[in-house]
Structure 1
Amino acid sequence: MRVALVQMAAGLDVDENLATIERLSAGIDADLIVLPEAVMHDFGTPTTPLGPVAQPLDGPFVAHIAGLAKDRAATVIAGMFEASGDDTRPFNTLVALGPDGDLLATYRKAHLYDSFGYRESDRLLAGDVVPAVFDVAGHKLGLLTCYDLRFPEHSRALVDAGANTLVVPAAWVRGPLKEDHWATLVRARAIENTVYLAAAAQCGRAYCGRSMLVDPMGVAVAAAGEAEGVIHGDIDAGRISATRERNPALQHRRAWPSIPSDDG
């Protein structure tokens, strides 16, 4: 499966963001195109209201991405703010549109970024804890968003649901050691689950960029720096099988009991 990861800096104008997506994806020949988190409309500042810009799944943003998927004959994954019924707090949602324009999967971010001095939960609603796994070109893809990388049980749940490739759109905020965390966690989730991991990130002044496709041994098949652009790589089922034969860690798992805390 041929993969294209689009790295860009989204702004607060949906039409301008769509124009950038069209420009960067022009000429892409891939089975899967992955766009970053919040590519419909950026988070802005901590006081930027997100409720008014949220759209339903049958709204114009998803319709445009469906058209893009048809034009590129590819599955396209993109991040948006989805109307939730709460006028002030939408969902942070990933949509996957197939080459025929059909909606293949959605995932509402489950782990909100209440960390490093930021409170995403003040602005967004968390989605249900349900693994989002779907098929593309003979591969099973599992969806995560940005901060979800810090929770290994999430990736493992996707693998247990059949995923052999994890897809992580992100807007990973810059900061001391944050870029190192990003690169380490992307590789760790691939290595521990013996899967490919396709991470497409926002760049620009607020975010670290560094989109990458990592194979089941933790090798970066393709990687970007801090600038906007597109990187390409292949997901090889044979590489997954060979890695799991060499490193059968998933077969060696044992069930560990939950130990209740001592409140005394």
Structure 2
Amino acid sequence: MLRVALCQATSSADPEQNLRLVRGWTGKAAGEGARVVVFPEATMAHFGVRLAPLAQPLDGPWAREVGEIAREHEVLIIAGMFTPDGDRVRNTVLLTGLGEHRGYDKIHLYDAFGFRESDTVAGGTELVTVDVDGVRLGVATCYDVRFPALFQALAEAGASAVAVPTSWGAGPGKRDQWELLVRARALDSGSWILGCGQADPAAAGVEVNPKAPTGIGYSTVADPFGRVHAQAGAAPELLVTDIDPAVAEQSRTATGVLANRKL
């Protein structure tokens, strides 16, 4: 078993303020025995602001401070930030603590629903996995969840679970799509899906750009058979749950989704 905490918070536009958010929520998660603490996409600063002036490298002060928090509490922190890439940035998930300090750059950019992430963000190309207490975790981000091949590739790389930091765009049917996609990626890869989203800003009392994808809440953990294992509401919430990697093997054996895949 691996205990994981999903920190469904609402980040602000201020990276320093968001470091305090990370420190507070990590302390609570570690106090409940979590070994992996997952924060949403854009934890460093929410969408709807200019990202380039805020971006920092993985060895910059923001990521280093998150690393110190992780070391202090002896956990792995997974949190969304932005790293520089010329005139654009990369939408990066920081993985730090337990001897790790590296990033996953979001592969599939959110050029959808009238939003063009690729105008300001450069896409990544590399899969990332990390091992914690004998359990291999993959990493994806938000819009990635619409692309099953990524999750199957992570499963074939040995991941029993995939952390998916998210800042989901609001709109008609979007919550239904979120829940469906998390459950579908769990089932078609035979993996635990740890979908950690930004809380709904309205429920958190935070003002944001209404045109930007700044979260709807409903962070969801789906088991490898596509069942909802745990779920938050719309407001800020700490969701702590145990995941069993053996269930991933049971699902893959039962469904044959990896063994029988042809394309």
Task: Give the structure-2-normalised TM-score.
Answer: 0.90
CA distance in structure 2 between the partners assigned to 1:185 and 1:153 by the alignment: 13
CA distance in structure 1 between the partners assigned to 2:38 and 2:114 by the alignment: 28
**Among 31, 39, 46, the residue aligned to 1:42:** 46
Query: Aligned residue pairs: how many?
Result: 247
Q: CA RMSD in A?
A: 1.4
SS of 1:251's partner is coil
- Alignment check: 8 A CA contact 2:91 2:106 kept: yes
- Alignment check: 8 A CA contact 1:5 1:200 kept: yes
**Among 120, 124, 146, the residue aligned to 1:123:** 120
Corresponding residue for 1:193? 189
Q: Deviation at 1:249?
A: 2.6
Tell me whether 1:114 sits opposite 2:131 in the alignment: no
Corresponding residue for 2:55? 54
SS of 1:166's partner is strand
CA distance in structure 1 between the partners assigned to 2:237 and 2:198 by the alignment: 10
Corresponding residue for 2:211? none
Amino acid at match of 1:210: Y
CA distance in structure 2 between the partners assigned to 1:209 and 1:34 by the alignment: 14
Deviations 1:51-106 (CA, angstroms, capped at 9, x unpaired) = 1110011111111111111122111101101012x1x4111001111234x41x41
Q: Which of the two has greater strand per residue?
A: 2
Q: Deviation at 1:24?
A: 2.2
Q: Deviation at 1:184?
A: 0.4
CA distance in structure 2 between the partners assigned to 1:62 and 1:83 by the alignment: 13
- Alignment check: 8 A CA contact 2:7 2:37 kept: yes
Amino acid at match of 2:119: D
Corresponding residue for 1:156? 152
CA distance in structure 2 between the partners assigned to 1:146 and 1:94 by the alignment: 11
CA distance in structure 1 between the partners assigned to 2:28 and 2:44 by the alignment: 21
- Alignment check: 8 A CA contact 1:110 1:148 kept: yes
Corresponding residue for 1:229? 237
SS of 2:115's partner is coil
Greater Cα shift, 246-255 or 219-228: 246-255
Amino acid at match of 2:144: D
SS of 1:27's partner is helix
CA distance in structure 2 between the partners assigned to 1:125 and 1:249 by the alignment: 31
Deviations 1:95-144 (CA, angstroms, capped at 9, x unpaired) = 111234x41x41111111110001111111111x2211121111111111
CA distance in structure 2 between the partners assigned to 1:239 and 1:195 by the alignment: 8
Corresponding residue for 2:27? 26
CA distance in structure 2 between the partners assigned to 1:78 and 1:249 by the alignment: 29
CA distance in structure 2 between the partners assigned to 1:89 and 1:254 by the alignment: 37
CA distance in structure 1 between the partners assigned to 2:145 and 2:4 by the alignment: 20
Structure 1, unaligned stretches of length 5 or more?
A: 256-264
**Among 128, 131, 145, the residue aligned to 1:132:** 128
Corresponding residue for 2:170? 174
Change (3 A) 1:72 1:245: same
